[in-house]
């Protein structure tokens, strides 16, 4: 019996905000290849692709740099980044007439929905793992199920976020990603590609608490 082909679709912003809300910045240095490796049945399922959908916050220099380093780390493990963009959106206070600019993320959900459908039509997967809570993706999941009843779509959400009821209704199942899944699936400080070449180094902001304690102890004792 052939292994079930799994393609993982990751809504980067849904994941980022779930991790941010945990108040543990080091968990953002998450190795998606390792994470999904813990969520499959290794004897009967095989991950063929992992797609990461996001956009760069170019107006925030520090965040922009960390995001690029993270994408480099993901790419070194064969994760395919598909990037949208942010659109500047003018805002105005009707009470005081103050004006400012905000940024609205565009294209991520559309890119994910299109990829979910495109790879189904190309028969690139038997089972889609969808890491997202965005109910706007429900029509795309429904379209996949309508046209390919034998293909499965399962939705995933971090343990501190509730699942989207709309996605659950149209999918084949749902699973919660627990804290242990996340905390045991982090990149090392130095990230190497399969050939042993150094790709990138973890941002200092993502240093795990235990390493910070060790560094402080070394400093005190030096």
Lowest mean pLDDT, pick from 42-51, 52-61, 127-136, 174-183: 52-61
For range 179-191, the mean pLDDT: 96
Confidence at residue 33, expressed as pLDDT on a 0 to 100 scale:
97
- Kindly compute the dihedral angle of the four CA atoms of residues 131, 160, 27, 78, in this order, to the nearest 10 degrees: -10
For range 119-129, the mean pLDDT: 98
Work out the pLDDT band at 163, boundaries 50, 70, 90.
very high
Confidence at residue 212, expressed as pLDDT on a 0 to 100 scale:
59
Confidence at residue 216, expressed as pLDDT on a 0 to 100 scale:
45
106-119 confidence digits (pLDDT tens): 788 999 999 999 99
Work out the pLDDT band at 217, boundaries 50, 70, 90.
very low
For range 197-213, the mean pLDDT: 89
- Average pLDDT score, the chain: 90
Q: Round to whole Å and give the CA distance between 50 and 33.
A: 8
Confidence at residue 160, expressed as pLDDT on a 0 to 100 scale:
87
Q: Round to whole Å and give the CA distance between 119 and 48.
A: 12
- Which of 214, 191, 212, 211 is CA-nearest to residue 201? 191
Q: Does domain 4-221 have CATH number 3.40.50.1010?
A: yes
Residue 215 in 3-state DSSP? helix
82-107 confidence digits (pLDDT tens): 998 767 666 667 777 676 566 567 78
Q: Round to whole Å and give the CA distance between 141 and 113.
A: 8
Provide the whole-model pTM. 0.89
For range 53-71, the mean pLDDT: 93
């Amino acid at each position: 019996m052939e292994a079930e082909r799994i393609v993982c679709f990751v809504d980067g912003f849904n994941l980022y905000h779930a991790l941010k809300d945990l108040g543990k910045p080091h968990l953002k240095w998450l190795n998606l290849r390792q994470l999904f490796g813990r969520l499959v049945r290794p004897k009967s399922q095989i991950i063929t692709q992992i797609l990461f959908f996001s956009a760069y916050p170019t107006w925030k220099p520090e965040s922009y740099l960390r995001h690029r380093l993270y994408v480099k780390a993901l790419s070194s493990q064969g994760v395919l980044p598909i990037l949208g963009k942010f659109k500047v959106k003018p805002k105005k206070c009707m009470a005081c007439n103050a004006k400012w600019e905000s940024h609205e993320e565009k294209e991520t959900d559309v890119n994910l929905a299109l990829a979910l459908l495109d790879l189904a039509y190309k028969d690139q997967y038997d089972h889609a793992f969808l890491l997202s809570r965005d109910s706007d993706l429900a029509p795309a999941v429904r379209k996949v199920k309508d046209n390919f009843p034998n293909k499965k779509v399962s939705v995933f959400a971090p343990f501190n976020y509730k699942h989207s009821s709309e996605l659950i209704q149209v999918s084949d199942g749902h699973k919660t990603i627990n804290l242990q899944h996340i905390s045991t699936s982090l990149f090392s400080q130095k990230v190497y590609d399969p050939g042993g070449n150094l790709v990138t180094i973890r941002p200092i902001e993502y240093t795990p608490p235990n390493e910070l304690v060790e560094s402080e102890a070394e400093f005190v004792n030096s």
